[in-house]
Amino acid sequence: MNQPIEIQTNSPEETIALGKAIGRAIEKPVVIALFGDLGSGKTVWVKGLAAGLGVAPEYPVTSPTFALVNEYDGRLMLFHADLYRLSGAADTGDVGFDEILSGKGVVAVEWAERMDDPDFAPDIAVEIRETGETGRCFTFFFYGPGLDNLLQTVMHF
């Protein structure tokens, strides 16, 4: 793992732009674990990620809190999961989470701390903290090989 990288955004538009930059740089399936309080900007960031992956703007990216997983077609398939309503690994098996994690696309997991599976190993972890009414601090942790382009994208945002 490289050293964590912090990025500050000051508006929802900047948060979307950060997600979009990362989405554009993604070249292969990756799993992204998202951590942050309610309202911290996880879904806003994923909206940008989707745009960067080429998801058509007419498909609104919304929180999958009740659907559990939303799927979006883009340059790479995007699986947007929200584990807020789940209690652990047994629940993730019930919704076919193993198949989602099988490397068929980009997986963004909100409330990843609820993933109670020892085999869950994200490629990237993102912690989001509110730093004001619209300010957010993103801390990125990169794991494993082959993420240099994403690391460079975050470092130069």
Q: Does domain 5-155 have CATH number 3.40.50.300?
A: yes
Pair 82, 110: CB distance under 8 Å: yes
Q: Would you list the domain boundaries of the chain?
A: 5-155
Per-residue pLDDT of the chain (157 residues; tens, 9 = 90+): 568 999 999 999 999 999 999 999 999 999 999 999 999 999 999 999 999 999 999 999 998 877 788 999 999 999 999 888 766 544 555 556 667 777 789 999 999 888 767 778 899 999 999 999 999 999 999 997 788 888 889 988 8
Q: What amino acid occupies position 120?
A: F
Identify the pLDDT of residue 68: 83
Specify the pLDDT at position 95.
Answer: 57
